[in-house]
Structure 1
């Protein structure tokens, strides 16, 4: 990881989290009883610039996407703003304030848009609680979208369970067009691929299948998602308030990304989010973006709870 990169370690009896304030405040590692839960680096850790693509970084752990996921250009009262790939804040050095052996506060201020981003990350027993806030520090109203981006490591046969209210998903992108083009709707969890083959979208596959699907759904009214790590005998539960985070992104990647690199992701990202789609520019057009007037604060939270399955 390199001695030059500051590490913050949070611990309970069963959980250990490593946070890198200088690298967007990313949660680089989350271990349950010594078992790593997150995708580990595809490339060595290095400080991020404001121009690199996500695939040029370590592409691992739990980053934050704000004020957009996709790179885009938007118009504001202060002029045009260029939002880079996966947003700006995963690239920024964050200030870290340790509040206890199990709690850290992370803050950063953006330059693309005048947003102050704050997170309190707290470990309590088997649960990670993250409380978020965004503040408009500028003189004009600004738009934003936010998405969590936790990349959970998986093995073939692991199961992603969404509540009964989730009956369909919409394609944002799909490697080799296996699920069709942007906007294609599929039933969840079982569907038919563009080649006519049946597919269980909720079952993790082998990396040799080169799958890379980004999907969206309306957030389950039940407010939870489950990932069952069969080989690790672990269950990971995500809880969030669908009234504040009305959409859910899913990144199902089994060797299908990044293109042109030997090291590939093998993960499932469960991403509570504020918009149906990755682009702030399109969210503004579709009425899914959030707006902060000067001085306004928006806040929300989510939890990750781990348990051993006997």
Structure 2
């Protein structure tokens, strides 16, 4: 059966564009009330990536909501189950649309190449919320471990606000360009790690900042982004019992590296199973889920768009 190049989900509140052939990624999330696009857009001059263990994520779309499984950072042969590619298998693969999609529902699936895992997701619209239900299944006769992170690259402008749960007082630093915030593994205060820096406030496009941080185990799976010019916010919600950690990527012209165009300008709020960037690291910390033969695991994430024209003080999780 031929697969659609583009799938559009739409209701009175949202317009969502999905590209099955490009890793099943969500390429656009637009509020129909304001016209505001909440996701970064891919550059048009890129060459399609051939799926492989050596594929570099920076050569792909690097835009929208992509899926990282069975790892985020690349892993070598010392990893249980063997090597795994940069940002995982599934951003590289074409996904199959299953069932009959309509304007409010879409189901997709793909089978990985570094691990015998089938990954599926079901998208649905309910008012101003995009719901995504995920399922990963072990197709083999042996146990398989994996790591997952949702990878939504949100469009931002200078002065926008990142909003984390009140419980967050400290984050662990995984990476900071030029060690601006310290060395990897440093515990930093949220939201002001040092005097003069407020990590809640989105910096300028050319600020040459790139930082990856992780929360400790969460009690509540909610976070958000407030778009100041439009007075409109996005709330990302998930079950912290299913996805116990949150990764925070702040990139204001600091990736792939200063001087290499196009430079990324985005914030990513990444629900995940472990506060680690690689499957190998998660395995060593005993934080990677393990699926027995034929076993599956499910989880859900929701993206809710607020009404436009609200004040920051009225944007709450």
TM-score normalised by structure 2 residue count: 0.91
**Equivalents in 1 of 2:191, 2:45: separation in Å?**
35
- Residue of structure 1 equivalent to 2:274: 275
- Residue of structure 1 equivalent to 2:101: 99
Task: Rate the CA distance shift 1:76–1:257 in 2: closer, same or farther, 3 A.
Answer: closer
Contact conserved, 1:219 with 1:272, CA < 8 A, in 2? no
Residue 166 of structure 1 pairs with residue 168 of structure 2: yes
**Equivalents in 2 of 1:44, 1:247: separation in Å?**
35
**Equivalents in 2 of 1:20, 1:221: separation in Å?**
33
**Equivalents in 1 of 2:207, 2:16: separation in Å?**
31
**Equivalents in 1 of 2:232, 2:79: separation in Å?**
46
Judging by fraction of residues, say which structure has more strand. Answer: 1
Task: Rate the CA distance shift 1:7–1:106 in 2: closer, same or farther, 3 A.
Answer: same
Aligned residues: 301
Contact conserved, 2:221 with 2:244, CA < 8 A, in 1? no
* Pairwise CA distance, 1:198: 2.6
Residue 69 of structure 1 pairs with residue 67 of structure 2: no
- Residue of structure 2 equivalent to 1:182: 184
**Equivalents in 1 of 2:159, 2:134: separation in Å?**
33
**Equivalents in 2 of 1:216, 1:76: separation in Å?**
22
Name the stretch that deviates more: 177-186 or 43-52.
43-52
* Pairwise CA distance, 1:5: 7.9
Equivalent residues in 2 for 1:279-298, closer than 5 Å: 279-298=278-297
- Could you tell me which runs of 5 or more consecutive residues in structure 2 were left unpaired when the two chains were aligned: 311-317
Q: Helix, strand or coil for the counterpart of 1:72?
A: coil
After the TM superposition, which parts of structure 1 deviate over 6 Å for at least 4 consecutive aligned residues? none
What's the CA shift string for 1:247-276, capped at 9, x where partnerless? 100100111111252211111101100011
- Residue of structure 2 equivalent to 1:237: 235
**Equivalents in 1 of 2:158, 2:4: separation in Å?**
33
The alignment yields a C-alpha RMSD, in angstroms, of 1.7
Task: Rate the CA distance shift 1:172–1:157 in 2: closer, same or farther, 3 A.
Answer: same
Equivalent residues in 2 for 1:18-167, closer than 5 Å: 18-33=17-32, 34-44=35-45, 46-49=47-50, 50=52, 51-74=54-77, 80-97=81-98, 98-167=100-169
**Equivalents in 2 of 1:300, 1:74: separation in Å?**
28
* Pairwise CA distance, 1:209: 1.0
What's the CA shift string for 1:63-107, capped at 9, x where partnerless? 000000000025578xx5210100111111100134321111010
Contact conserved, 1:38 with 1:152, CA < 8 A, in 2? yes
Task: Rate the CA distance shift 1:135–1:265 in 2: closer, same or farther, 3 A.
Answer: same
Q: Helix, strand or coil for the counterpart of 1:29?
A: strand
Task: Rate the CA distance shift 1:223–1:76 in 2: closer, same or farther, 3 A.
Answer: closer
Q: Helix, strand or coil for the counterpart of 2:193?
A: strand
- Could you tell me which runs of 5 or more consecutive residues in structure 1 were left unpaired when the two chains were aligned: none
**Equivalents in 1 of 2:74, 2:47: separation in Å?**
21
